[in-house]
Structure 1
Amino acid sequence: MTPNATRLRPRLAAALVTSLALAALGDRASAVPAPAPGRAVAIVLGAHPAYTFDPGNGAPVPYGAARDGALALLDGLGAGDRVAVYRYGERGAERIAAWSSPREAAAALRAAKAPEAGGSMAPPALAKALEAVAADVEAAGAKLPGDRAVLLVTGGKDVSPAGAAMDRAAAGVEEALGA
């Protein structure tokens, strides 16, 4: 594991804890504080069609609830923020919304077709999504606000160590964010 990947993993774990908290909160998710205004926020959403996890109360949470958690995060962002939304799952990784306002990103996420079953394993797809985040941050450069964050909304089953591809992707995101 690279030193950059080692430093990024705790941040990804913090985002995972946030996502689990959002799922457990349900309708109260909007009470979770969003990042400060003037940030560039990339939301990376796990999207297996039958995607479930146990938030601690024995009830499985489907992909729709994870998507709703991402929408709640978007709802808490300000007009000065820039957001990109990515989704990954069995079919690979895709960009749902390029850098745009939170309102535009939320509309794109709502309009996105539901994920389909079949295809690649989730860890390589997550690595591809993180590579896309790094490339998009680098391409946007100075157009993005200086304060940048990546929020991973997932059940956690797909973020287990996935080898060199995951380490390279994590290092690329960290480098692009300037961490």
Structure 2
Amino acid sequence: SLANAEKSQLEKELEAEKEEVETLRDNLRNRDKMMKDRIAMEESNRQEAERRMGGMSKKQMQSMEERAKSAEEEVEKSRKLVAEMRMAYTVALVQSRFLRKAMEKLNLITGVTKTENQSLSLRLSNAQKDLNKMEEETLNLKEELAKTKEKVAEAEEKVTHMKELVETMEEGIEER
């Protein structure tokens, strides 16, 4: 029947939304790991630069500046990712609300027998649980976004520190 087809379509859309949320979470985890690795590498480079600060050549100074610039670009990419994740979170939330309301309306307008109604109620209950899980996952995603924003801020601080270090080294070279 038409109602069952609509319900089936809504269930497919719900499944697709679940997959999209999981993909977004995976992307966020991968980006987070990349940022951690990048920050660790920059910290290691900074420590090494401080250790060798006395004998730096102009080429080495340029290399340090390039790495600082690269880190700034990574921070900008992370900012863009955070904006994309916010948008994806908003879309997922709106779609989950739409699906819930559509399932409720569909249940109201279908004139089904008692047995079919019980079956649909069970499916609706399961769909409601899935929607609740999806909303919980979107909240978790929002929390992960907040953590990523904190990490971006930390990375920005490190980039600023790198710039200051490069400027200090340049001043040291100029004084020599």
User: TM-score normalized by structure 1?
Assistant: 0.26
More helix as a share of residues: 2
More strand as a share of residues: 1
